[in-house]
Amino acid sequence: MSTKRICSVCEAGCGLIIDADGRKVVSIEANPDDVFSQGHVCAKGIALKDLDADPDRLRQPLLRRDGELQPVGWDEAFEFIAEKLGLFLDRSDRNAVAVYFGNPTAHNIGLSMGAGVFAGMLGSTNIYTAGSVDQLPKQLASALMFGSGMALPVPDIARTDFLLMLGANPIVSNGSLWMVPGFRQKLRDLQSRGGRLVTIDPRRTETARLADTHHFIRPGTDAFLLAALINGIVQAGREPDVSVGVRHWQELKKALSPVSLALASERCGVSEDALRALTRQMLNAESPVVYGRVGTTLQQHGTLTSFLVEVLNMLLGALDRPGGAMFPEQPFTSARSGSESVSYNRWQSRVSGYPEVLGQMPCAALAEEIETPGEGQIRALFCFAGNPVVSNPDSDRLAEALGSLELLVCCDIYHNETTRLADVVLPGSSPFEDGHYDSFLGSMGWRNSARYSPPIFEAEAMREWDMAMTLSCLAASGRVPSDKERRDFEDNIVANAATGYVADVSSPLHGRDIQEIVGSIGPESGVERLLDLGIRAGRWGDQFDGTDGLTLQQMIETPDGIDLGELRGGRLAEVVTHADGCIELAPAVIIDALTSLVATRDNPGLRLVGRRQAATNNSWLGNLPSLTKGKQYCQLQMHPEDAAEHGVAECGRIRLVSAAGSIEAEVTLTDDLMKGCVCLPHGFSEQDDVAQGVRRLGPNYNRLAAAAEVDRPSGTSALNGIAVTVERL
């Protein structure tokens, strides 16, 4: 049996062809006919065959008894959770129960929507996501500027003639906040039509090697570089060039003016001549575009840097125009609630006073919020598809804090450094046992398309949507629901969602009959009901009125996907959700961030930055032999001159020391790294008692990250640019 489906591992969303014999996957290859990925695939997608068959993959709930996690049935696991959770709900201290959403929830629609419902039922303000060790600064910048944290433009790679890329390595990562499968080929096409790529990174990355120009940059100084480029473009007479109104441009211009070319060059380590040349190239390009990713968000000035990326796009006339930074569209649409005010700083964390950002608290606050007594102290945590002990800062302290909880429930497909501390582990399903639709990333595609994959196999365990519905019912009532109660609960969720569209004045379903809509939804159960509803209410949807618009069923019948065309410009009026329809250019947060940027002192000494590698995905997949093939993956890269200064030789072992801790690592020398920087991948750990057959043993990068080192506006951890010293062993 051969089935086509979308890979759910990373943001590229590649189309795969899965050959199976009964329940056994025999082979996986690229789907050349997929309208979106056009035949791209990487080793991780192919390795899903091993993941599916992996005996180490969790298939049964585990419950801690006599100090050890032991297999139990689902009923027993849920009963245990109900009993423990009931205690917290009785105490009516809702914030005592926290939720952590890991990265794969963004690629798992049942989990993202289901666990979202669960978090809503808890009513806790202690909601944490991997976003605050990733992209949250970019979302906050968009929220401040456009009014929505989901207004995230992507480069129109098919039409641009000049791409400036900061802190991203899509040749290895396959793109981020940008679904761009086959970046290598798209770059070739760009260059063969005379276009150029310029990269800015402390490391000459795999992407930088294919670029026309690469500049090394001192970690954390991109805001200086961007401010200098903006000032240069303003001096050339450019003004904001967009189809909607802008407010406070003069204020922003004034706040940027202290960043002279000389200051920027001194701080970021890019020569004044190079900055001038870059400014000229962008001014001369027909359709330039600027893009920044992890290196620009997971650093000290993440929000400001992300904000300035879009200011630059706007001045270049690139925002919302073909060849520039465009807002993709996806078939699924959420209903808009009446109040569209930016969700920021509505409450603060108890200990460090971090502001709420888009409904979240930052991971940097998690350990201290568990450790510190008083009302609102976190005593229980539900962790969905995450591994905070490895992915969050100050790992040792966080592990200790998590170990002290009265209740830790993890939902994962594997054992990891976090599940080993859990009281209950609920298994997720194999990716082939669940449906797939990119609801979060769908609006960041290089091209618009409609694709959905139904499950290939029956779930051995339980579909994560069903698990999350049971947990949600349980959080609502304090006890394990009967099958009927669970079904009624799910029906209610669907009816509420339909009510949302009917109440939304901007929805084509506005004012329609709710029962009629609910009765016409295609699938009979599961998260697919919400999906069908959102697709049919969307721009391409059939609007439940018998016309021939899009439905989930049509997507099921078109496994190669439906191409919805190139990105559409002129969308700002729709994208900007500030009440006056204007783009905000000088929010107080950004002006303050600029002031403190200019006041920062340059701190000499070694800086640690991260890198991603083709065969792993954050802290998982490292256990699949077909990917790792016994290679050494976790080496510290060092510049030969820095190594000589510290008396370190190739393959020598060193101790790396920061304000937060120390780790030991093996060194490899390369001048692909800027002098003054060292580079280590994340996702490894020294713990050899988890992930049976683990091949990702290595120093845990985040043991060096102090929790307090954050991008202050968003609370996002500054995991790049950590000040370190080196001791030879």
Ligand X SMILES: Nc1nc2c(c(=O)[nH]1)N[C@H]1C(S)=C(S)[C@@H](COP(=O)(O)OP(=O)(O)OC[C@H]3O[C@@H](n4cnc5c(=O)[nH]c(N)nc54)[C@H](O)[C@@H]3O)O[C@H]1N2
Question: Which residue ranges make up the site for Mo ion (CB under 5 A)?
Answer: 134
Nearer to ligand X, 14 or 413 (CB): 413
The span from the CA of 315 to the CA of 175, in Å, is 25
> Helices 483-503 and 464-477 sit at what angle, rounded to 10 degrees?
90
Instruction: Please select the residue that binds ligand SF4; options are 4, 5, 13, 318, rule is CB under 6 A.
Output: 13
Nearest-approach distance from CB 627 to ligand X, in angstroms? 10
Length of the chain: 729
DSSP codes joined into one string, 82-113: HHHHHHHHHHT-GGGEEEEE-GGGGG-HHHHH
Nearest-approach distance from CB 621 to ligand SF4, in angstroms? 9
Is residue 662 a contact partner of residue 638, using CB atoms and an 8 Å limit?
Answer: no
Nearer to ligand X, 131 or 232 (CB): 131
- 507 makes contact, choosing from ligand SF4, Mo ion, ligand X, none, with CB < 5 to 8 Å by partner type, with none
- Identify the residue whose tokens are 């205690």: 87
The span from the CA of 24 to the CA of 14, in Å, is 21
Is residue 393 a contact partner of residue 719, using CB atoms and an 8 Å limit?
Answer: yes
- What are the residue ranges of helices labelled H in 37-182? 43-46, 48-53, 74-91, 109-122, 136-146, 170-173
- 167 makes contact, choosing from ligand X, ligand SF4, Mo ion, none, with CB < 5 to 8 Å by partner type, with ligand X
Nearest-approach distance from CB 719 to Mo ion, in angstroms? 11
Cα Dmax for the chain: 75
What are all long-range contacts of 50-53, with beta carbons under 8 Å and residues at least 24 apart?
A: 50/624, 50/625, 50/626, 50/627, 51/413, 51/430, 51/431, 51/621, 51/624, 52/25, 52/430, 52/431, 52/432, 53/24, 53/25
Nearer to ligand SF4, 356 or 434 (CB): 434
The span from the CA of 472 to the CA of 117, in Å, is 6
User: In degrees rounded to 5, what are phi and psi of residue 185?
Assistant: -70, -40
485 pairs with which residues across the strands?
A: none
Nearer to ligand X, 173 or 507 (CB): 173
Q: HSE, CB side, 13 Å, CA atoms: give it for residue 82.
A: 18
Nearer to ligand X, 484 or 601 (CB): 601
Q: Per CB under 6 A, does 534 bind ligand SF4? A: no
Is residue 717 a contact partner of residue 707, using CB atoms and an 8 Å limit?
Answer: yes
Q: Per CB under 6 A, does 656 bind ligand SF4? A: no
Nearer to ligand X, 205 or 543 (CB): 205
Torsion sign, CA atoms 234, 237, 238, 243: positive
User: In degrees rounded to 5, what are phi and psi of residue 71?
Assistant: -60, 135
User: In degrees rounded to 5, what are phi and psi of residue 474?
Assistant: -60, -40
- 718 makes contact, choosing from Mo ion, ligand SF4, ligand X, none, with CB < 5 to 8 Å by partner type, with none
Nearer to ligand SF4, 124 or 207 (CB): 207
Nearer to ligand X, 97 or 166 (CB): 166
Nearer to ligand SF4, 45 or 110 (CB): 45
Contacts with ligand SF4, 162-191, as mask; x by CB under 6 A: ------------x------x----------
Contact range with ligand SF4 by CB under 6 A, out of 11-19, 259-267, 495-503, 711-719: 11-19
Nearest-approach distance from CB 703 to ligand X, in angstroms? 10
Q: Per CB under 6 A, does 14 bind ligand SF4? A: yes
- 293 makes contact, choosing from ligand SF4, ligand X, Mo ion, none, with CB < 5 to 8 Å by partner type, with ligand X
User: By rule CB under 6 A, what count of residues binds ligand SF4?
Assistant: 12
Instruction: Please select the residue that binds ligand SF4; options are 4, 5, 10, 295, rule is CB under 6 A.
Output: 10
The span from the CA of 268 to the CA of 523, in Å, is 54
Nearer to ligand X, 214 or 447 (CB): 214
Nearest-approach distance from CB 712 to ligand SF4, in angstroms? 33
Nearer to ligand SF4, 45 or 153 (CB): 45
The span from the CA of 27 to the CA of 18, in Å, is 6
- 41 makes contact, choosing from ligand SF4, ligand X, Mo ion, none, with CB < 5 to 8 Å by partner type, with ligand SF4
Nearest-approach distance from CB 202 to ligand X, in angstroms? 5
The span from the CA of 441 to the CA of 134, in Å, is 14
The span from the CA of 124 to the CA of 181, in Å, is 37
Q: Per CB under 6 A, does 572 bind ligand SF4? A: no
Nearest-approach distance from CB 608 to ligand X, in angstroms? 9
Q: Is 222 helix (H, G, I), strand (E, B) or coil?
A: helix
Nearest-approach distance from CB 134 to Mo ion, in angstroms? 4
Q: Site residues for ligand SF4, window 41-70 (CB under 6 A)?
A: 41-42, 44-45
Contact range with ligand SF4 by CB under 6 A, out of 2-10, 278-286, 327-335, 707-715: 2-10
Nearer to ligand X, 207 or 554 (CB): 207
Chain residue at closest Cβ approach to ligand SF4 = 45
Contact range with ligand SF4 by CB under 6 A, out of 6-14, 334-342, 562-570, 678-686: 6-14
Q: Per CB under 6 A, does 9 bind ligand SF4? A: yes
Nearest-approach distance from CB 105 to ligand SF4, in angstroms? 16
Chain residue at closest Cβ approach to ligand X = 295
CA 444 centroid distance within chain: 12
- Chain positions contacting ligand X, by CB under 6 A: 10, 102-104, 108, 111, 130, 133-134, 166-170, 172-174, 176, 200-203, 205, 217, 219-220, 222, 293-296, 298-299, 385-388, 391, 411-414, 416, 428, 609-614, 616-620, 682-683, 701-702, 719-721
Q: What is the three-state SS of 617-653?
A: ECCECCCCHHHHCCCCCCCEEECHHHHHHHCCCCCCE
Q: Which residues contact 559 (CB under 8 A, 6 or more apart)?
A: 3, 4, 5, 453
Is residue 17 a contact partner of residue 32, using CB atoms and an 8 Å limit?
Answer: no
Nearer to ligand X, 51 or 342 (CB): 51
- 166 makes contact, choosing from Mo ion, ligand SF4, ligand X, none, with CB < 5 to 8 Å by partner type, with ligand X
Contact range with ligand SF4 by CB under 6 A, out of 7-15, 263-271, 311-319, 511-519: 7-15
Nearest-approach distance from CB 416 to ligand SF4, in angstroms? 19
Nearer to Mo ion, 177 or 319 (CB): 177
- 13 makes contact, choosing from ligand SF4, Mo ion, ligand X, none, with CB < 5 to 8 Å by partner type, with ligand SF4
Percent helix, strand and coil across the chain, each to the nearest 5: 35, 20, 45
Nearest-approach distance from CB 371 to ligand X, in angstroms? 20
CA 252 centroid distance within chain: 29
DSSP codes joined into one string, 233-281: HHHTT-----SS-EE-HHHHHHHHTT--HHHHHHHH---HHHHHHHHHH
Nearest of 110, 243, 113, 103 to residue 177 by alpha carbon: 103
Nearest-approach distance from CB 389 to Mo ion, in angstroms? 16
Q: Which residues bind ligand SF4 (CB under 6 A)?
A: 7, 9-10, 12-14, 41-42, 44-45, 174, 181
